[in-house]
Amino acid sequence: QYWIGNANLCLFVSLAPFFSTTEIRYATVYWNRAEKTLQVRNTLDRSGDAYGFYNNTIQTTGWGVLEIRAGYGSQTLSNEDIMYAAGFLEGYLTAPLGHNLDHNIFVPSLCYQLYSKKPKKTPTCLFLCRKQDQWTRQQIRNNKDDPFWRHAGYIIAQLDGLYMGALEWAKLHKQTPLSNFDVQFLNAVGDLLDLIPALFEYSARGGQCNGEPGSHGRYQWDMGHCSALIKVLPGYENIYFAHSSWFTYAATLRIYKHWNFNIVDPYTSTSRVSFSSYPGFLVSLDDFYILGSGLVMLQTTNSVFNQTLIKQVVPESLFAWQRVRIANMMAHDGRTWAETFSKCNSGTYNNQYMVLDLKKVKLQRSLDDGALYIVEQIPTLVEYSDQTHVLRKGYWPSYNIPFHEKIYNLSGYASYVVKYGMDFSYELAPRAKIFRRDQGKVTNLESMKYIMRYNNYQHDPYAEHNPCNTICCREDLNPSLPVPAGCYDSKVSDFRLASAFTATAINGPPVQGGLPVFTWRRFNRTRHQGLPESYNFNFVTMRPIL
């Protein structure tokens, strides 16, 4: 089957103009079952096997928007063919942006650089990633009757299609294509942030970014953190959820995606999803998902300071991005999401996942048990629990410190509190205190936006003049060592909006309270190909329209 091995399909694509910076591109994929060929036309045809558009408004709003429907055409396709066609269409529509993102964050070259420094150390991440990919495909081939591995096959089919679609665009426009390995690397970028320390001996690290203990606001920005909040009003009149990403500003090439795939499988809970993402990614990475199952999933990264744990990472496992996608498709509630995600734990991209089940939210009546599951991963362990009783008190905050005591202790946080102070405490970290103080001020969507963009580091006593000891970090404002990194987006929604797969999102560092607009002029040596020169955007409503 083509989606398990190397794709070698013949492809016929009509000519298209080179990708412009301000245009909507429409395309439709047609699958010829007899010849095993795909044809792509630059039009929106609802009878096609996959159709959609990409609206390239990054320079004007901060976001591109991608919407794809697949499997709703005039012919019936297998689930794998539907996923492959959807991936192909996305790769074709967004290929030039993938080049820009790959150039800016240069993920593949990171492993080459590390290997060149210590070539005689453990096998390179290149080798390990290849081995992991081979193992995954072999498991899919060997377990065709297993629902879990069948869904893993759907994800790999989509990944293979993504690569082939991007490759065809590159051929048409005589561009150097991203390699298949580049595409795999982009999707595994979160996992690589743990994989690299597992292969090389480095000091304690964090999820996407790593705070250096005792350094007062200095961060290692090849990593990253996030802030998230779930807020229920006192009378259960509404429930809000939001997420703000922290990472290098070079990664602000954002796409908000709406997928609706007609997957027919008794174990598929949903194949419809709206989420924040990036070009070349089949995952959110942030994470911020609104799922057709009635689930919402948010995520923030936890650090693993215990190097003994990190060294237990093995390739015979599924990366976090793959398990997230499988759980998103298969789970019908928080517990089944956690159980599905726990399988084949890679111990990479170790996060706190918040799974909010809106089916268990009865506005002005009750929050039923199971409304909120908290899932946390470290190498060798995934722990999860129903924390609805905490949410009933008003809110659930997340700020890159583990909640579960066992995860907290095994990760090394308790020893860090002893060594470096209460900033590593779950209860008394700066953002824990700010969320506790200010969450009661959230009464509507606008006040939820405000708290997720909050940065008053010059005057807030809990921030202690540190521009990253707050909800939405501005490390570029650090007077001692400014770095173009920090909190660069926010996504906000509520109960009613989520029922229509709708959210509001903003791209760029916060400017509230008179903070300066970020501009690349101060950091011209940092790669920022295809990005806005400055970021002074407003929130944009994201909703599917097809």
For position 202, what pLDDT does the model report? 41
Q: At what angle do helices 125-142 and 107-117 cross, to 10 degrees?
A: 120
Q: Is residue 270 part of a domain?
A: yes
- Please identify which residue in the block is written with the tokens 């665009």: 169
Do 134 and 257 belong to one domain? no
Do 439 and 378 belong to one domain? yes
Do 374 and 486 belong to one domain? yes
What are the b/e assignments for 347-362, b being 16+ CB within 10 Å? bbbbbbbbbbbbebbe
Model pLDDT for residues 36-77, shown as the tens digit of each residue:
889 999 999 999 999 999 999 999 999 999 999 999 999 999
- SS3 category, 461: coil
Do 296 and 180 belong to one domain? no
Q: Is residue 420 part of a domain?
A: yes
Residue range 145-172: mean pLDDT, rounded:
97
Please name which of 274, 229, 259 lies closest in space to residue 542, comparing C-alpha atoms.
274
Do 435 and 374 belong to one domain? yes
H/E segment holding residue 261: strand 254-261
Please name which of 188, 11, 1 lies closest in space to residue 111, comparing C-alpha atoms.
188
**Which residues form the domain of 294?**
225-542
Q: Is residue 70 part of a domain?
A: yes
Q: In angstroms, what CA-CA distances link 400 with 364, 450, 456? A: 31, 20, 20
pLDDT band at 199 (very low <50, low <70, confident <90, very high): low
Do 61 and 175 belong to one domain? yes
Model pLDDT for residues 90-134, shown as the tens digit of each residue:
999 999 898 788 888 765 445 544 544 554 443 466 788 889 999
Dihedral over alpha carbons 92, 138, 375, 255 (to 10 degrees): -10
H/E segment holding residue 231: strand 226-232
For position 60, what pLDDT does the model report? 97
For position 15, what pLDDT does the model report? 31
pLDDT band at 207 (very low <50, low <70, confident <90, very high): very low
Q: Is residue 200 part of a domain?
A: no
The mean predicted confidence, pLDDT, of the chain is 89
Check pLDDT > 70 for residue 216: no
Residue range 79-93: mean pLDDT, rounded:
98
Number of domains in the chain: 2
Q: Is residue 208 part of a domain?
A: no
Residue range 335-349: mean pLDDT, rounded:
98
Distance CA 275, CA 284 (A): 6
For position 224, what pLDDT does the model report? 56
Q: Is residue 203 part of a domain?
A: no
Do 187 and 319 belong to one domain? no
Q: At what angle do helices 107-117 and 180-187 cross, to 10 degrees?
A: 90
For position 176, what pLDDT does the model report? 87
pLDDT band at 472 (very low <50, low <70, confident <90, very high): very high
Burial of residue 314, with CB atoms counted within 10 A of its CB: 0-12 exposed, 13-18 middle, 19 or more buried? middle
Residue range 199-225: mean pLDDT, rounded:
43
Please name which of 376, 407, 375 lies closest in space to residue 305, comparing C-alpha atoms.
407
Do 74 and 159 belong to one domain? yes
Do 118 and 233 belong to one domain? no
Q: Any idea what the CATH number is for the domain that residue 188 is in?
A: 1.10.439.20
Q: Is residue 206 part of a domain?
A: no
For position 111, what pLDDT does the model report? 54
Model pLDDT for residues 509-541, shown as the tens digit of each residue:
999 999 999 999 999 999 999 999 999 999 999
Residue pair 295/331 in contact by the 8 Å Cβ criterion: yes
Q: At what angle do helices 180-187 and 147-172 cross, to 10 degrees?
A: 130
Check pLDDT > 90 for residue 296: yes
H/E segment holding residue 3: none
Residue range 303-324: mean pLDDT, rounded:
93
Do 399 and 531 belong to one domain? yes
* Percent of the chain at pLDDT exceeding 90: 78
Q: Any idea what the CATH number is for the domain that residue 392 is in?
A: 3.60.60.20
pLDDT band at 25 (very low <50, low <70, confident <90, very high): very high
Please name which of 396, 416, 5 lies closest in space to residue 203, comparing C-alpha atoms.
416
Do 165 and 251 belong to one domain? no
Do 186 and 231 belong to one domain? no
Q: Is residue 321 part of a domain?
A: yes
pLDDT band at 178 (very low <50, low <70, confident <90, very high): confident
Residue pair 340/327 in contact by the 8 Å Cβ criterion: yes
**Residue type at position 282:** L
